[in-house]
Structure 1
Amino acid sequence: MQTIFVGNKPIILTSNFEKETNHKTFLLRTVNIGKVIKLLNQTDLKAVHLYDKDSENLLKRFLKLLPNTVAGGGKVFNDANEILFIYRNDKWDLPKGRAEAKESIEETAIREVEEETGVEGLKISKPLQTTYHIFKRNGKHRIKVTYWFEMTTNYSGKLKPQIKEGITKVQWLNKKESRQALEHSYANIRILI
């Protein structure tokens, strides 16, 4: 089972056919993804399930429905065990961004965290769950595939929000502050914290 978000509403890829309660189910092989996105955006429907009995290829088949954008990002901890957050578009988020040509996804994640926050001395400690969400750019829907990494740093310098990317704040948040920030965040970020 894999989850892709449209805003905060999930599209759940599944090979188990469940009775519809607070969701609608469509066959993955024949789905009109544009209609599914519209349904989630314009109704109070809680979720959509896309069903295919071939559990091995669910995600692969889904990713062919729309163009993909690959990104890398970080859940960064400092020496005080605080997490690095950015504030953009009235939401708390984790730093991330698009991969550039000839760059490994790990290099992307480190570069994007540095660019968006000013934090240096980043070390990847382990990979985290990959997230998927659908967004619209230039009138067309795309799937953002974000590879996340847990990182550490002993950086104690000034935090610098990347204003040209719409980031207005960068902050280290403790456990309690992180939980509060997640109330004003995205569903795909909540699953990482």
Structure 2
Amino acid sequence: MYTIFVGDKPIILTTSVNKETDFKVFLLKSVDLTKVIRLLNTTDVKAVYLVGKNPNKLLKRFLKKLPNVIAGGGKVFNKEGKILFIYRNDKWDLPKGKAEANESIEETAMREVQEETGVNGLSIIKPLPTTYHIFKRNERYKLKITYWFEMQSTFEGDLYPQINEGITKVKWLGKKKTKKAMKNSYANIKLLV
């Protein structure tokens, strides 16, 4: 089973569905994805299930339905155990960005964290779950696939938000402030945090 977010509403890829009333079910093979996205954006439907036969081909089949944007990002901890957050588009988020040519996804994640926050001295601890979300750019829907990594940093300097990317704040948040920030974040970030 895979979850792809449209805003904070999920599209769930699965091979079976139980009867429910607050979501819609479509066949993955023949679904009109634009209609599904519109349905999630404009109605009170809470989720959409796309059903396929082969669990090993669910994601592969879905990925062919939209242009893919590959990104890397980091959930970065400092020596005090605080997590590095950015504030963009009036929401708390983790630093991430699009991969560049000839760059490994790990290099992308570390570069993006540094560019968006000013934090260096990064090391990757382990991979985290990959997230998927649909966004609209130039009147076209695209699927962003973000590969996440847990990182640590010994950085103690000033934080610099990447203003030209719409980031207005960068902060290290402890447990209490992280919990509060998650009330104003994205569903896929909540899953990671």
Calculate the TM-score normalised by the size of structure 2.
Answer: 0.99
Alignment of 1:128-139 (within 5 A): 128-139=128-139
Q: Which residue of 2 aligns with 1:157?
A: 157
1: CA distance between counterparts of 2:145 and 2:18? 26
In the alignment, what sits opposite 1:56? 56
**Matches of 1:16 and 1:34, distance apart in 2:** 22
Cα deviation digits, residues 24-46 of structure 1 (max 9, x gap)? 00000000000000000000000
1:68 maps to 2:68:
yes
SS at 1:106 equivalent: helix
CA distance in 1, matches of 2:189, 2:42: 23
> Partner letter of residue 175 of structure 1?
K
Give the secondary structure class of the aligned counterpart of 1:114.
helix
Opposite residue 157 of structure 2, the aligned amino acid is G
Give the structure 1 partner of residue 189 of structure 2.
189
Secondary structure (helix, strand or coil) at the match of 1:55 reads: coil
For residue 161 of structure 1, report the CA deviation from its aligned partner: 0.2
Consecutive unaligned residues of structure 1, counting only runs of 5 or more, are none
Alignment map for 1:12-161 (pairs within 5 Å): 12-161=12-161
Alpha-carbon distance in structure 1 between the residues aligned to 2:170 and 2:25? 40
Distance apart, 1:18 and its partner CA: 1.9
CA distance in 2, matches of 1:110, 1:17: 39
- 2:57 is paired with a residue of what secondary structure? helix
Structure 1 distance, partners of 2:17, 2:78, is 44
RMSD in angstroms over aligned alpha carbons?
0.5
For 1:47 and 1:17, locate their aligned partners in 2 and report how far apart those are by CA, in whole Å: 12
With 53-62 and 12-21 compared, the bigger mean Cα shift is at 12-21
**Superposition deviation, residue 184 in structure 1:** 0.2
Counterpart residue type for residue 42 of structure 2: Q
1:128-158 CA-to-partner distances (Å, cap 9, x unmatched) read 0000000000000000000000000010000
Query: Which amino acid letter does the alignment assign opposite residue 57 of structure 2?
Result: N
- Alpha-carbon offset, residue 20 of structure 1: 3.1
For the residues of structure 2 that align with 1:17 and 1:191, how far apart are their CA atoms? 22
Counterpart AA for 1:183:
K
4+ residue stretches of structure 1 with deviation over 2 A?
Answer: none
The 3-state SS of whatever aligns with 2:188 is helix
Residue 17 of structure 1 deviates from its aligned partner by 2.5
Alignment: residue pair count: 193
Q: What amino acid is the match of 2:70?
A: V
- The residue aligned with 1:167 is 167
**Partner-residue secondary structure (3-state), 1:183:** helix
Aligned position for 2:9: 9
Cα distance in 1, alignment partners of residues 143 and 20 from structure 2: 25
TM-score by length of 1: 0.99
